[in-house]
């Protein structure tokens, strides 16, 4: 189903652009060209949903919608919906290697609204009718949700007037008419997003490059999903969470991680034949070729924390849906190319679920070199049915990690890599790439930061922190012909 391949993990936001954030414009096409020149067959991205406070792609306003920040503005100029000089303010806020999300919100949305006004003046809204039919399951609820957020000064839906919070029928019918123009604006944004992305994906596929997408297991508390399908979640009569998601205490955090996402009412979801999950998986495969499911262990058991708890340490393990969910997905959609993010605290039950699902799990080379014990992440232990990474968006970069580790761990790393006949490079990031590429794993990936040999100043995300995350970008000049040739050589040598 997968084939022996390799590729690069780089989120859309990290791409170069003149307009404040990576987007679906010319630089995305050039990145695909770079992948082709380096003989890479995979491009992995993070979730593409619309982000809110904190800018995390794992806390989106919708499990189905796309992020308007990624819309290619120059394409709107070509369509006659904007003038070139409309983009000047975005060029002024552009920073070479980072994203200022506050400035981006203040400047990009007014320009997008201007393009929408031209779209309406040209009587083009009818172009979206087929799209509305295709995305009927989620689109109307999402666009109304966003229009209401705008009306109520971006407040969380729990703070809206009760008739809208509780979706009272008469009030909902009235507000849909009142906010029709605003709703149509959000339909327009999704129409443009999907249209541009599918064009970009088609270009990647024409180069024999597959896109790996990402599904967060949970939804954001402030999302159209939680608001419009509240029966799916552990809410009380006021639609407040009774229990929330997180991680138990571990070596990294004495208090664990309190994520705050609403937990699913799996009994109710099962009674409804897992329809929402099936629609979600189907929607993700409408946008991607392969899908990684985040926090896979949570489908076996998940950490359930009282909503009023001060730390995640007050939580407990509760049983998830297990194979009942995945068997239903397979029954309805068939065998889909899914990757299971099986990291974290793994019990025999979680390993059994992974084996029964048949999905390849993940192997992170950064986790391999603990001098105190023999690690399961050492490359010689990788099976074919796995996906090997130098590191992921939640990890330090390889160079940053190597600078910070204990001497005993560094010694173990050096000795192990020296013994690998396939590793010949001097630079630690290239040693890692060669080691991962040479494994039995069916797929091998490296972060673009590791390809470029960057330190932790270029880290994408530090879990359990809320600042300086998700804003890193690379530059056009970083991806050189020499870099492509070097990666291509390693790829060919390892038959990927």
Residues forming the active site: 294, 341, 394
d(CA 262, CA 95): 35
Rounded to whole angstroms, the Cα distance separating 17 from 102 reads: 17
Q: Which residues pair with 472 in a beta bridge?
A: 98
Helix then strand count (H, E) for the chain reads 19, 12
Closest CA to 187 of 150, 246, 135, 123: 135
Distance CA 223, CA 182 (A): 18
What is the side-by-side strand order in the sheet with 243-247?
257-262, 243-247, 301-306, 316-319
d(CA 60, CA 221): 9
Q: How far apart are CA 496 and CA 57, in angstroms?
A: 30
DSSP code string of 93-120? H-BTTB--HHHHHHHHHHHHHHHHHHHH
Confirm if 340 and 354 have CB atoms less than 8 A apart.
Answer: yes
The encoded tokens of residue 60 equal: 């989106």
Distance of CA 59 to the CA centre of its chain: 10
- By the 10 Å C-beta count (0-12 exposed, 13-18 middle, 19+ buried), 74 is classed as middle
> What single string gives the DSSP state of each residue in 341-367?
---SS--HHHHHHHHHHT--EEEEGGG
């Amino acid at each position: 189903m997968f084939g022996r391949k390799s590729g690069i993990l780089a989120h859309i936001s990290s791409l170069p652009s003149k307009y404040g954030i990576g987007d679906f414009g010319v630089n995305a096409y050039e990145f695909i060209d770079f992948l082709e020149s380096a003989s890479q067959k995979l491009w992995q991205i993070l979730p593409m949903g619309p982000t809110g406070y904190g800018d995390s792609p794992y806390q989106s306003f919708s499990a189905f919608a796309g992020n308007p920040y990624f819309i290619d503005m120059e394409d709107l100029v070509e369509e006659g919906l904007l003038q070139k000089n409309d983009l000047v303010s975005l060029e002024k806020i552009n920073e070479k290697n980072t994203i200022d999300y506050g400035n981006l919100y203040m400047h990009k949305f007014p320009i997008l609204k201007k393009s929408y006004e031209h779209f309406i003046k040209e009587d083009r809204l009818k172009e979206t009718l087929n799209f509305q039919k295709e995305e009927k399951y989620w689109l109307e609820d999402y666009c109304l949700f966003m229009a209401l957020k705008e009306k109520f000064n971006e407040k969380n839906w729990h703070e809206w007037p009760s008739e809208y919070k509780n979706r009272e029928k008469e009030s909902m019918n009235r507000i849909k008419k009142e906010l029709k123009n605003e709703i149509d604006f959000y339909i327009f944004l999704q129409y443009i997003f999907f249209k541009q992305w599918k064009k970009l994906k088609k270009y990647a596929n024409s180069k024999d490059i597959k896109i790996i997408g990402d599904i967060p297991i949970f939804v954001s508390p402030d999302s159209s999903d939680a608001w419009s399908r509240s029966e799916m979640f552990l809410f009380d009569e006021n639609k407040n969470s009774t229990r929330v998601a997180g991680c138990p205490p571990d070596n990294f955090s004495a208090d664990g991680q309190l994520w705050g996402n609403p937990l699913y009412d799996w009994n109710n979801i099962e009674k409804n034949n897992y329809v929402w999950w099936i629609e979600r998986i189907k929607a993700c495969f409408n946008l991607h070729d392969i899908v990684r499911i985040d926090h896979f262990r949570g489908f076996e058991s998940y950490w359930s924390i009282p909503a009023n708890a001060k730390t995640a340490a007050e939580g407990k393990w509760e049983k998830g849906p297990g194979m009942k969910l995945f068997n239903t997905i397979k029954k309805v959609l068939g065998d889909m190319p899914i990757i299971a993010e099986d990291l974290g605290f793994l019990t025999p039950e979680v390993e059994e679920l992974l084996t029964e699902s048949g999905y390849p799990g993940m192997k992170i080379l950064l986790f391999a070199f603990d001098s105190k014990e023999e690690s399961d992440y050492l490359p010689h232990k990788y099976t074919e049915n796995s996906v090997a990474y130098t590191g992921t968006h939640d990890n330090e970069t390889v160079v940053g990690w190597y600078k910070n580790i204990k001497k005993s761990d560094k010694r173990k790393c050096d000795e192990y890599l020296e013994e690998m006949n396939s590793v010949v490079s001097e630079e630690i990031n290239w040693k890692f790439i060669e080691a991962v590429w040479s494994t039995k794993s069916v797929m091998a990936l490296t972060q673009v930061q590791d390809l470029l040999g960057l330190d932790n100043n270029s880290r994408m995300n530090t879990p359990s922190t809320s600042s300086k995350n998700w804003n890193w970008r690379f530059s056009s000049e970083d991806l050189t012909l020499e870099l492509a040739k070097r990666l291509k050589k390693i790829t060919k040598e390892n038959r990927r």
